[in-house]
């Protein structure tokens, strides 16, 4: 008899080739590379090596590509060179590329699932920390560094130390207007930005089962902001329905056979976790960040923390530094904070469901601040336009652009000016993340829309109906 296993234990065992000195050599099923991966290709070329399994590697132009002027030459020579290098490197190694001229182009963590490349049970890596997004499908997915990218390219394997196991259980029904982004921020605010450090997180409970695949991707995307190595949700009927008919997903008998295996990808009854956290989903309110870390998150009806009331001198110093950078006053109501612009996009919240939720708030309203909407993929853009969502955004006064990482990383002029305050659907509010001196408040797409039409941080519940 074997001991009950967690979902993560099962995924690890299925990919472990051998152990040595406390680490395991793992087989990689899917490797995503982007234009920032040129260092790894250069390292491989220096060794005279070739890609071991080119059919398991997929290239995506997303991180640095411009979201305006698509189809025209890229003005920035450095970015143009990176995009060109990606085209050259993938062609030379027979790697499938979703480049700027491909109608399937988009942010890697959006198009992987969208195309059915991301599947339950796979081990997926990419040179980007938010690769955890793909764990929403019951995959073991995580970001890797440049040297590791090169190792995977040359061997299709990766050395890793096995993380501990953590389960975050969210039970109860989320209130109307409350979504995965709110739940993610509530979790991070509770356990801290390093609360899951060294752990693989499994999200479980009735509130998680009720989430759409888009929402589960948002939650797993934010697992990294809690310090987790990855985030995972056990696949179920919602997962299988999403994958049906996608370009690279199995079909027919192959799909039926795959689902028989996928349904077993769940934690056994009695499986032991190194840490357990429980969340009452019925108590989760609309959340936003106020400071310079995702853990600096509060319900929208709260006030800015006062360093004078901090539990320790160290905490007081941190709060003071955050409020100084953010240009805030301790004790001020969050809803009294004026904003300068908004951004709807990124691998966290730029799928069609996200755009619909923002458009529902913006419909027949006019924004009081400028902003930019960048869909997560070219396919999402076409679908949004078919539904008329782009017209809603434009009528409200927002700019509608092409797909790319855009203002999330402050690239190609998609910036927040120094000292300006942005309500953003992104995953990080670090100092300078959206531009030097930029002040970022992260929240859900609907909450960003509410801020846009209010001119200040606003409670979506006050705009319903």
Cα distances (angstroms) measured from residue 419 to each of 42, 324, 327, 450: 38, 11, 8, 21
In terms of Cα–Cα distance, which of 163, 167, 239, 240 is closest to 203? 167
CATH number at residue 307: 3.30.499.10
Q: Tell me, yes or no, whether 276 lies in a domain.
A: no
Are residues 173 and 281 in contact, defined by beta-carbon separation less than 8 angstroms? yes
What does pLDDT average to over the chain?
96
Element (H, E) at 40: helix 38-46
The answer to the question of residue 274 being in a domain is no
Structure tokens at 265: 């990808």
The reply to whether 433 falls in a domain is: yes
**Paired tokens of 307:** 């360093």
Measure CA of the first residue to CA of the last residue in the chain; give whole Å.
57
Among 262, 279, 302, give the residue marking a domain's end: 262
> Is a pLDDT exceeding 90 seen at residue 411?
no
Per-residue pLDDT averaged across 431-447, rounded? 96
The Cα 350–Cα 107 span in angstroms is: 9
110-168 tens-digit pLDDT:
999 999 999 999 999 999 999 999 999 999 999 999 999 999 999 999 999 999 999 99
Indicate if 186 and 291 belong to the same structural domain: no
Q: Are 58 and 95 in contact (CB under 8 A)?
A: yes
pLDDT value of position 464: 65
Residues 231 and 336 placed together within one structural domain of the fold: no
| Residue 28: closest CA among 116, 140, 165 | 140
Residue pair 220/202 in contact by the 8 Å Cβ criterion = no
Pairing relationship of beta strands 297-299 and 287-289 according to DSSP bridges: antiparallel
Question: Is residue 273 domain-resident?
Answer: no
Signed CA dihedral, 316, 317, 321, 322: sign only? negative
Residue 247 falls within a domain, yes or no?
A: yes
Give residue 237's pLDDT band: very low, low, confident or very high (50, 70, 90). Answer: very high
Q: How many CB atoms lie within 10 A of CB 246?
A: 16
Helix or strand run (H / E) with residue 59 = strand 57-60
Domain range for residue 306? 287-459
Query: Are residues 216 and 178 part of one domain?
Result: yes
Q: What are phi and psi for residue 203, nearest 5 degrees?
A: -95, 130
Choose one of 262, 278, 303: the last residue of a domain: 262
Q: Is pLDDT above 90 for 293? A: yes
Average pLDDT over residues 15-24: 97
Position 388 in a domain: yes
Q: How many domains does the chain have?
A: 2
Name beta bridge partners: 23: 20
Per-residue pLDDT at 465 exceeds 60: no
Residue 379, in any domain of the structure:
yes
Query: Stretch 90-99: mean pLDDT, rounded?
Result: 97
369: CB partners within 8 A, 6+ apart: 339, 340, 341, 342, 451, 452, 455
| Phi, psi angle pair for 206, to nearest 5° | -65, -35
Whole-number Å distance between alpha carbons of 236 and 243: 11
Looking at residue 122, the DSSP 8-state letter turns out to be -
Q: Are residues 245 and 310 in the same domain?
A: no
Q: How confident is the model at residue 71 (pLDDT cuts 50, 70, 90)?
A: confident
From residue 455, give the alpha-carbon distance in Å to each of 156, 204, 366, 459: 50, 37, 10, 12
Q: Do 349 and 251 fall into the same domain?
A: no
Does residue 439 have a pLDDT over 70?
yes
Identify whether residues 233 and 88 lie together within a single domain: yes
| Same domain? 256 vs 323 | no
At 95 the pLDDT is 98
**Adjacent-strand bridge partners of 371:** 342
The answer on 78 and 188 residing in a single domain is: yes
Q: Are residues 224 and 340 in the same domain?
A: no
Structure tokens at 330: 């301790």
Q: What is the pLDDT of residue 217?
A: 98
356 and 428 together in one domain: yes
**Do 254 and 294 belong together in one domain?**
no
Based on the domain organization, do 221 and 93 belong to the same domain?
yes
DSSP per-residue codes, 388-444: THHHHHHHHT-EE--SSSGGGTT-TT----TT-EEEE-SS---TTTTSTT-EEEE--
CB 158 within 8 A of CB 148: yes
Residue 1: pLDDT band (50, 70, 90) is low
- Could you report the per-residue pLDDT of 208-221, keeping only the tens digit for each? 999 999 999 999 99
- pLDDT for 32: 98
Question: Could you give the CA distance from residue 34 to residue 106 in angstroms, rounded to a whole number?
Answer: 11
């Amino acid at each position: 008899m074997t001991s009950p296993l967690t979902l993560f234990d099962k995924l690890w065992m299925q990919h472990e080739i051998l152990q040595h000195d406390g680490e395991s050599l793992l087989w990689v099923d899917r490797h995503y590379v982007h234009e920032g991966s040129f260092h790894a290709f250069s390292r491989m070329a220096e060794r005279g090596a070739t890609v071991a399994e080119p059919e398991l590697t997929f290239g995506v132009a997303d991180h640095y590509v411009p979201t305006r002027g698509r189809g025209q030459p890229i003005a920035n020579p450095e970015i143009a060179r990176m995009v060109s290098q990606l085209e050259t490197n993938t062609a030379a190694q027979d790697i499938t590329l979703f480049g700027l001229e491909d109608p399937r182009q988009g942010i890697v963590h959006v198009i992987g699932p969208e195309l059915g490349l991301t599947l339950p049970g796979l081990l997926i890596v990419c040179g980007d920390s938010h690769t955890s997004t793909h764990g929403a499908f019951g995959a073991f997915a995580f970001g890797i560094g440049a040297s590791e990218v090169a190792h995977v390219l040359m061997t299709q394997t990766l050395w890793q130390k096995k993380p501990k196991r953590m389960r975050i259980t969210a039970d109860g029904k989320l209130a109307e207007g409350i979504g995965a982004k709110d739940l993610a921020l509530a979790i991070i605010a509770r356990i801290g930005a390093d609360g899951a450090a060294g752990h693989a997180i499994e999200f479980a409970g009735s509130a998680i089962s009720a989430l759409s695949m888009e929402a589960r991707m948002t939650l797993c995307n934010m697992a990294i902001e809690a310090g987790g190595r990855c985030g995972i949700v056990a696949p179920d009927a919602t997962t299988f329905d999403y994958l049906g008919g996608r370009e690279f997903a199995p079909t027919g008998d192959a799909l039926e056979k795959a689902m028989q295996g996928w349904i077993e990808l769940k934690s056994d009854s009695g499986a032991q976790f190194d840490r357990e956290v429980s969340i009452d989903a019925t108590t989760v309110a609309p959340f936003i960040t106020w400071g310079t870390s995702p853990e600096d998150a509060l319900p929208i009806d709260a006030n800015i923390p006062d360093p004078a009331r901090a539990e320790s001198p160290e905490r007081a110093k941190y709060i003071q530094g955050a409020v100084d950078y953010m240009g805030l006053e301790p004790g001020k109501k969050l809803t009294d904070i004026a904003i300068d612009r908004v951004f709807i996009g990124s691998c966290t919240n730029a799928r069609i469901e996200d755009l619909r939720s923002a458009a529902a708030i913006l419909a027949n309203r006019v924004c009081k601040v400028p902003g930019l909407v960048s869909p997560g993929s070219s396919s999402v853009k076409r679908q949004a336009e078919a539904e008329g969502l782009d017209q809603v955004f434009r009528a409200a006064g927002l700019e509608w652009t092409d797909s790319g990482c855009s203002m999330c990383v402050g690239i190609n002029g998609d910036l927040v000016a120094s000292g300006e305050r942005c309500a953003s659907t992104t995953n990080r509010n670090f100092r300078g993340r959206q531009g030097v001196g930029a002040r970022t408040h992260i929240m859900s797409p609907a909450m960003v829309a509410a801020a846009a039409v209010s001119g200040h941080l606003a409670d979506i519940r006050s705009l319903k109906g």
